[in-house]
Amino acid sequence: MLAATSQQPQLVTHEIEGLRVELPAELQSFFFESGYVPTTAEEFRGNARLRVRSVGEILITHTPSALHSGISHRDGRSGKTLIKDLSRSGVGVLYHYELYPEEQFQLRFQGRLLLVATARCRRIANKCYEVGGRIISVETIESTQ
């Protein structure tokens, strides 16, 4: 279980095999944060978001065809990602490259397999993009870790 609490030591991201996300200085406390993410009335969020700080496995399952001519084909590309927060309908992750709206990916972490459609992406730093996704489906899986 990698979800952090204030008692746990900070995870050094470059020591996680396969993880290419580079956390910038302002996110160095990433694994020390917990609890619900504050929100504002203007955001119109349907569900509360809980900080879930964990490493997950990501598999890109669908990139819209119109994007294929501009970016290298990445359906089937897999790797590691940092899970940031989770709600009943959405998930936030940090990834090392940009994902476009409507790209879909599978996310495996903490005994769950989520199918997610990218809703938004924001560049935090080089090799660090915050991706917000809409959860399409959730399955429970047996942990192999």
Partner 1 sequence: MLFSSTEGLIPISMATLSPTASLGVNIYLRARSNDPPVLYCAANELPDYERLVPLVGQGVNKLFIDVTDRARYQQYLRDNWDDLICDEASPIPNRVAVLSEVLRDVLDTEFARNDTESIVAASQKLGRVTSHLLSESNIITQQLCNVLHHDYATFTHCTNVSMYCVLLARKLGYTTADIEEIAVGGLLHDLGKLQIDERILNKPDKLDEFEFREIKKHPATGFIQLVDREDMSFGQLMMCYQHHERLNGSGYPVGCVSEEIHPWAKICSIVDVYEALTSNRPYRKPMSPKTALAILDKGEGTEFDSEMLECWRQLVNNHN
Please tell me whether residue 28 adopts helix, strand or coil conformation: coil
- What's the CA angle centered on 118, arms 116 and 120, to 5 degrees? 145
φ/ψ (deg, to 5) at 139: -125, 150
Contact string 8-47 vs partner 1 (x = CB under 8 A) = ----------------------------------x-----
In this structure, are residues 113 and 141 in contact, taking their beta carbons and an 8 Å threshold?
Answer: yes
Q: Which is nearer to partner 1, 52 or 60 (CB)?
A: 60
Q: Which residues, 108 to 137, sit near partner 1 by CB under 8 A?
A: 120-123, 129
Furthest-apart CA atoms within the chain: distance in Å: 47
Footprint on residues 56-85 left by partner 1 (CB under 8 A): 64-71
Count of residues touching partner 1 (by CB under 8 A): 18
Under the rule (CB under 8 A), what is the footprint of partner 1?
42, 64-71, 98, 100-102, 120-123, 129
